[in-house]
Structure formats: structure tokens, C-alpha cells
Amino acid sequence: MAKYALRRFITMVVMLVALSLIVFVILELPPGDFAERYVHDLRQSGAQVTYGQVEYYRHMLGLDRPWPERYLNWATNIVTRFDFGWSLTYRLPVTKVIGDRIWFTIILSVVTIGASYLIAIPLGIYSAIKQYSTGDYLLTILGYLGMATPAFLFALLLLYVSTMYFGTSVGGLYSLEFQNAPWSWNKFIDLMRHIWPAVIVLGTSGAASTLRTMRATMLDEKNQLYVTVARAKGVPENKLIQKYPVRAALNPIVSTIGWELATIVSGSPITATVLSLPDIGPIFLKSLTNQDIYLSGTILLIYSCLTIVGTFVSDILLAMLDPRIRYGGIE
Amino acid sequence: MNENDLIEIKNLRVSFPLDEGTVQALDGIDLSIPKGKVIGIVGESGCGKSITARSILQIIPPPGKIDQGEILLRTKLGSMNDDEHIIDLAKLKPDSDLLRQIRWGEISMVFQEPMTSFSAYHSLGDQIMEALLMHKDVSKEEARQAAIEMLDRVGIPNAAVRLNQFPHEFSGGMRQRAMIGMALICNPSMLIADEPTTSLDVTIQAQMLDLMKDLRRDFGSSIMFITHNLGVIAQIADEVSIMYLGKIVEQGTTMDIFHDQKHPYTSSLVEAIPKISDARKKRLTTIRGSVPSPFERPSGCPFHNRCPKMMPGVCDVKVPTPIDFGNGHKAACLLYE
């Protein structure tokens, strides 16, 4: 098991390096660079700019170096100093620009995923065991509604209801005193108090599809012969369901944790805008149009990191869950 | 209930209410299983052999249900003063404590598919020990020792190591051995073997039969042996019941069934056994037609439309009742009425 985890870990690191390279190359692909873009903007605002100035900016920003050299610089600084470069648009280090927002985004995603699994998995199990009962039909309707409602519409509804009927706004994430405060335990608690509307909005469709997946796989598993054998052995029904079919039915859910994480983080900019979440979505969009290569590169890298790390986590969990994967990985 | 009988099934009726109509899977079964004997249950696919077995443990697949009848078991379980008494299993709730004690504690079962009988997610040892821990007051370590001894007993080499392995690391034959071991670990008074050799190749089949004969000698359990293979029955059974469309059409000793059959269906089955001596001389005898759809049960005797001795106007009208030929040999056929 440890050997398997180590091997998967090494693969993950190699993947990350390869990805950072791909990210950088892709960002280099479009014609033009930040210097041209900047000079263009200056011209638009009426300033007199010569071509020499483009070259000047380019040299000053180091954009005239060949890309492999710039990539190596960027990558070395990330590894050695956790320095992701300089955001050309914001004239700030990338880490400063993303800073709080990335932590917020990650907390929000983890809480959302955790909450949606905690709710959806037991409901899915219930739905399958009581197939065709009133509860099952109710959950089925809720599940389809949850999957079919666009998150931003749901966000609007929630905003409307909370303002009209409860007189409070669900938008905004911190109480006033914590708005610009540095991260602390109290700020974290405050965030947890305000985070639930965002969690509901972002988590509903995921929870609904988890519920449906859990129900479907449970229905497959609960009539398998090994479950009947356990029943024939005299294992009590509750214990039996938990030990046998649930274990098997978790498999497809665990194996998608990796995508789930990235989907929610890079999720829906519209929802984030509606709920005025301090997400990294809007910054990402801006950095792309400005060809702010280090900022957009860093965000892209974070997104892909999350996918890769998520996949690593789900691989390890799967191996813990399923002996066939565990042994297949070692031999 | 006869003194020597462990189980007596009386007029058992099981049906499956499906969207397409109700399937009468068992249509009044009477069967007794004496202590320490091997009872063979024979019939074509879909005749209700497995449902009979599963009814005993109340593990009929949904939506099947017992409509009527009694399944009497002689047991010490659930008795106040530790004496033997008689329980009607059909009356117990599927999740009742008493029924759970009887499952595997008194009656255990080996299924047809060794490949899917074990959970792929748990080690073989875990699943075997679970059975013992559920029914006997033993420590984990004792259960482990017992499981190792049992695996050894059913011929799995290197049992202490194999115990920690997972089902996918075992071949089909090995899994069925482990299954038989698991079935015997609580020392039950009856073992139900539901086509335990069908999905195994012929050499492994022979090994399994030898194993079961040995175990029967050592443990003294009754065995209900379900199969569609008469050759297997001849090797292992003391008494045989022949089933057709949810009814027992003939029952008797193995001798009676092979050498003095009364029911035309039994005769057809026996004639259909390939014999090495006629291999070159004639075609294999078969039974005309196939088992009717469960939704269209024939009127009168259920076998009349395939029967070589069918009497028009009688067999398709009248329902036969079992006739006693002495010594427990019975057949339900209108030829003798």
C-alpha cells in the first residue's frame, strides 16, 4: 500500500511539472504579449508611443528573453521561493493578487464537497433501500430538480427570498469587522457562519448527482449474491448494508472526487458574481484578456494542481477501498 | 412431524407478483429432510429448486413471497429450557433475531456461483470469521484459528496465509471450497447445496463431491443437494425429489428413482442421461418441448403437453395427487389413478 502510494505520488509530481510546462506554452501561443497590449492601451488613451517604447517595456519586463528561459526562471522561483512571478496588470506579486481569494476558494470548495457528500450519500443509500417508497420518490424529484436547476438561478432565488422574507442579505461572506482583517481563527468561524448560502448554491447540483449515482450503484449492489450470502449468514440488516453494498457502491463516487474538486473551484463565475463571492474566477478572466502571463499561468496551474491532487487523493482512497486495485498496483 | 425429520415442508406456496402477472414459483411443496441424510432435488431450470431452498432461510429474491404453507424445523434455538422444539420458519419475520440465529447457526447454504458469493472488498478470512463471530461466543483469535482449521479441512493449502487474501486471488474451485468451509464453520444441522458444482469444471466437480461426502461423514449434517445433474445425484443422494413447474412430481430413494421410476417425467430424465455404451448407436434421448412460460401454466397435470404417455381428456383436465407406492416412494401421475 505504501509502495503504491509512493509510486502514485511520484507520478503526480511528474505530471505537475509537465503541466506547468504545458500551461506556460499555451499562454505563449497567442500572438502578441503584455508589452504590445500595454502600449496599445496607452495609444487608445491618447498617449504618443513609439515602437521603441514597446521594445523598451519588453526588455524591462524581461519579455524579450526566449520562453524556455522565462519558464525556467518562473518554475525555479516557484519551487525555491514560492514566488509565482509579477502580475503585470496589478503591478503586484501574483501571490498578493490571488492571496486571500485562493484560500477562500479552497475552503469554500472543500466545505461544499464535504457537505454534499455528507448529505447525499446517506440519502442515496436510503433511496435505494426503500426503492419505490414515498421517500424514494420525493428524493428522486428533489434530485432531478437539483441537477436541472442552474446554480446562478438558484443563487438569485436564494438572494430574493432572503432579502424579501428575512430582511438579510446572503451575499457577502464576512461580518464588517472581518472584511479586511488578516486570516485568523475568528475570521474562519465568521466565514463558516456566512458561507452556507454559497455552499447550498454551489453544492446542490453535485449533491443531487451524487445522490442519483449512489442510488443507482446501491440498487445494483444490494441484490448481488454476496449480499444474499451475508443475509443468509444471519448478519443483521443494518450492519449488512453498511458492510457490503455501501462499500462497493462508494467506488464510483470516490473515483470522481478529483474532478469534483476542480469543477467546484473553477466552477461557475456567474454564481460567484451573483453571490458577490471573492472568488478567483473574475481575476482569471481579466488576466487572460490582458495577457498577464504569470497571473493567468499561476491560476491555470492551481486549477490543474487541484485536479491532479484530487485524482491522487481519490486513487489512494480507492486503493484503500478496493483490494483489487491495491494489489493490481503493486504487482 | 416424524421423529427422525429435521425439516418438514408442508404445502409450501411461493409466488412472485410481477408486472407481467403472478408467477407461482412453488405450487404446494411437501418435503421432509431426515437427520443426517442427503436429499437430492432435481429438475430443469426454473422449476423452483432454488426457491424451495431459499424459502427455508427466507432469502427469496424480491418480490417473491411465501403465500401459504409451513416450514417446520426441529431445533434447540429459541427454546426456553434448551430442549428440542419445533419452529415454523415460514412464520418468522425475515429480520427477527430467532431467524437470524437459525440462518447459518442451524442451516447454512452453498450457492451456485462461487465467483460472486464473496464480497470482493473483504478478505476471505473476514467473511468466514464473521459467520462464526455472529453465532458462537468466541474471541476473534479463536474465530481465526477455527477459520484456518476449516480452510485446511476443505483442502486449501497454506490456510493461515490464504485467510488474509481476497476473493480475486482464488480460483473458482478454491472459492467454492472456501464457501463450503464457511457453510460448515458453525457446525449447522443442515447444509443446503444449491448446484454447488454446476459452474465448476468436471474434475473440480468430482473433488467437490468427494469433499462433501467426507464432510457429511465427519459433521453428520443433513444435506439438501440441488442439481439438474442426475449423475451427481446418483453419487451423493440417499433420497431424491423430482420437481417440475413448482411441484414435486416424484420422490423416493435413489434406488427407486433410477430403477423403478413411476412418473413419465422421471423416466424421461433418466433416459436422457448419456451412456458411454450407446455412444455410437443412437441419438441422445431428449424430452420433447421445453419448460412452459411461467405465465402460462398448463391446465391439469403441468407435464401433460410434453408427456409421452399423455391421456387426452384426462391429463389436461385433472390435477394429479401424489400416490404412495410404499416405503416413501410417491409419484403424482394420473396413469396410476
**What's the confidence (pLDDT) of residue B224?**
95
Residue B263 grid coordinates? 412418473
Residue of A nearest to B53 (CA): A232
Q: B336: exposed, middle or buried (C-beta count within 10 Å: 0-12, 13-18, 19+)?
A: exposed
Q: CB atoms < 10 A from the CB of A31, how many? A: 6
Q: Closest by alpha carbon to B9, among B214, B269, B190?
A: B190
Phi-psi region of A247 (alpha: psi -120 to 50; beta: other; left: phi over 0): alpha
Sorted by where each starts, the structural domains of chain A and their CATH numbers stand as 32-83 (no CATH), 100-330 (1.10.3720.10)
Fold of B5-106+188-280: Rossmann fold (3.40.50)
How far apart CA A26 and CA A291 sit, in angstroms, is 12
Q: Do B111 and A247 touch (CB under 8 A)?
A: no
Residue B4 grid coordinates? 427422525
SS3 B263: coil
What are the residues whose beta carbons fall under 8 Å from the beta carbon of B166, sequence distance 6 or more?
A: A323, A324, A327, B120, B121, B122, B123, B124
Could you give the residue ranges of the DSSP H alpha helices within chain A?
A: 2-28, 34-44, 51-61, 67-81, 94-129, 134-148, 151-165, 185-222, 225-232, 237-243, 245-249, 251-254, 257-265, 269-274, 281-289, 293-321, 323-330
Greatest CA separation for chain B: 68
Q: Do A233 and B113 touch (CB under 8 A)?
A: no
Whether the complex's predicted ipTM surpasses the cut of 0.95? no
Contact B239, B207 (CB under 8 A): no
Q: Do B166 and A228 touch (CB under 8 A)?
A: no
Residues of B in contact with A236 (CB under 8 A): 95, 100
pLDDT tens-place string over residues A6-61: 888 999 999 989 988 998 888 788 777 777 777 777 788 777 777 777 788 788 77
Q: B213: exposed, middle or buried (C-beta count within 10 Å: 0-12, 13-18, 19+)?
A: middle
Would you give per-residue pLDDT tens digits along chain A (331 residues)? Answer: 788 888 889 999 999 899 889 988 887 887 777 777 777 777 887 777 777 777 887 887 777 888 888 888 888 888 888 888 888 788 888 888 888 788 878 888 888 889 999 999 999 999 999 999 999 999 999 999 988 888 888 888 888 887 777 666 555 666 666 767 777 788 777 777 777 778 888 888 889 999 999 999 999 999 899 999 999 999 999 999 999 999 999 988 988 887 787 777 766 666 777 777 777 777 887 888 887 888 888 888 888 888 888 888 888 888 888 888 776 544 4
Residues of chain B with CATH 3.40.50.300: 5-106+188-280
Sole residue written with cell 509510486: A7
Min Cα distance B234 → chain A (Å) is 28
Residues of B in contact with A223 (CB under 8 A): 61-62
How far apart CA A327 and CA B11 sit, in angstroms, is 51
Q: Do A232 and B135 touch (CB under 8 A)?
A: no
Chain A interface includes B95 (CB < 8 A) = yes
Min Cα distance B267 → chain A (Å) is 34
How far apart CA B19 and CA B78 sit, in angstroms, is 39
Helix (H) or strand (E) holding B75: strand B65-75
State pTM to two decimals.
Answer: 0.82
Residue of B nearest to A247 (CA): B121
How far apart CA B282 and CA B289 sit, in angstroms, is 20
Min Cα distance A233 → chain B (Å) is 5
**What's the confidence (pLDDT) of residue A158?**
82
Residue of A nearest to B132 (CA): A233
Could you give the residue ranges of the DSSP H alpha helices within B220-294?
A: 230-236, 254-259, 264-271
Residue of B nearest to A324 (CA): B168
Whether the bond between B17 and the residue before it is cis, its omega within 30 degrees of 0, is no
How far apart CA A24 and CA B36 sit, in angstroms, is 78
Dihedral of the CA atoms A41, A44, A47, A48 (nearest 10)?
A: 100
Q: Do A229 and B118 touch (CB under 8 A)?
A: yes
Contact B313, B321 (CB under 8 A): no
Chain A interface includes B103 (CB < 8 A) = yes
DSSP annotation string for B80-137: TTS--EEEEGGGS-TT-HHHHHHHHHTEEEE-S-HHHHS-TTS-HHHHHHHHHHHHS-
Helix (H) or strand (E) holding B144: helix B140-153
pLDDT tens-place string over residues B84-125: 899 999 999 988 999 999 999 999 999 988 889 999 999 999
How far apart CA A112 and CA A197 sit, in angstroms, is 10
